[in-house]
Amino acid sequence: MKKDRLLISGTIFLLIACVGFAFIFGGCAASNLTGAAKVHQTVTLVLADECTAAIQAKAAYEAGTLPQTDAVRYTINDAGAACEQAKIAFTTALTAELAYRNAEALQVNACIPQAGAVPPPANPQCEAAGRNTAAAKVASDNANAALSTKLASLPAKAAAVKAISPQK
Amino acid sequence: MLPFFITALGILSDYLKAAHNKTANTVGNDIAAVDQFTLAILQENARIKGAVIDWADPAAVQAFVATLPAFTPIPEPAQDLNQTKGK
């Protein structure tokens, strides 16, 4: 009987130690992101935070734990709409970023010097690829600017939602 | 000597189990005290940080963003017919 208890306790200790190591190393893996990867994950986290607050508030409103008034409904809907618009802006920015990367890759291929060929800038394909890349960069910059504007409005709207006092 | 050692380990085992149960109950009470917003946000954050995707790939990130919960507006309450009578 006592050996069984010792075995169970030892097993529980080993399980806790394994889960602990998994959290430690899993957490370290997530924080090793840099550059575009880190930006993408950070924006996703911001969107998730704000949208989750609006969704939770809506559930609380419909359950009656938040006052079911026009003002409360407007505040929650306003935050939720801002969140969905920010998601669309993020998707648009990602599309533009992908298009820019593809344009850059095509430009590299088009502008590779060929043996005996006419050197740049007389290479028309290289010139066209360069113009496409420049246009794609402008589009990507504009999309990112629009995304920044949408993201900037989210914290205040989420704070307004969280500040709604529960129904008494 | 051996029976004493085994008995001591058994007592230690009982103590650790009791401490574990007390800690679990305390943690449970603490979680209950955390507001619903914070808990939901923490859960969603954990899901995002644990996602095994190439965060540098815009297409992969787009696909993941599509899995975020969507917000649908709260509809306006139905008009009370008695309020519109006589108008």
Start-to-end CA distance of chain A, whole Å, equals: 53
Whether B69 and A62 lie within 8 Å, measured CB to CB: no
Q: Two tokens at A139? A: 């589009």
CA-CA-CA-CA torsion for B37, B39, B43, B44, nearest 10 degrees?
10
pLDDT of residue A118: 58
B76 neighbourhood in chain A, CB within 8 Å: 73
Interface of B with A in 13-52 (CB under 8 A): 13-14, 16-17, 20, 36-37, 40-41, 44-45, 48-50
Rounded Cα gap, residues A11 and A24, in angstroms: 20
Confidence grade of residue A22 (pLDDT, cut at 50, 70, 90): very low
Confidence grade of residue B33 (pLDDT, cut at 50, 70, 90): very low
Contacts of residue B16, defined as CB under 8 A and 6 or more positions apart, other chains included, come to A9, A13
Rounded Cα gap, residues A58 and B74, in angstroms: 7
* pTM of structure: 0.69
Confidence grade of residue B23 (pLDDT, cut at 50, 70, 90): low
Whether A9 and B45 lie within 8 Å, measured CB to CB: no
Whether B65 and A26 lie within 8 Å, measured CB to CB: no
A37 neighbourhood in chain B, CB within 8 Å: 54-56
Q: Is A137 exposed, middle or buried (0-12, 13-18, 19+ CB in 10 A)?
A: middle
pLDDT of residue A116: 64
Do A140 and A95 meet the contact criterion of CB atoms below 8 Å apart?
no
Q: Which of B4, B37, B42 to mutate to test the interface with A (most CBs of A within 10 A)?
A: B37
Whether A52 and B48 lie within 8 Å, measured CB to CB: no
A65 vs B22, more confident: A65
B65 neighbourhood in chain A, CB within 8 Å: 44, 47, 87, 90-91, 94
Closest CA to A73 of A83, A63, A58: A58
pLDDT of residue B24: 57
CA distance A130 to chain B (A): 22
A57 vs A116, more confident: A57
pLDDT above 60 (res A162): yes
pLDDT above 70 (res A114): no
pLDDT of residue B38: 82
Q: Give the up-direction half-sphere exposure of residue B51: CA atoms within 13 A in the CB hemisphere.
A: 23
Whether B45 and A30 lie within 8 Å, measured CB to CB: no
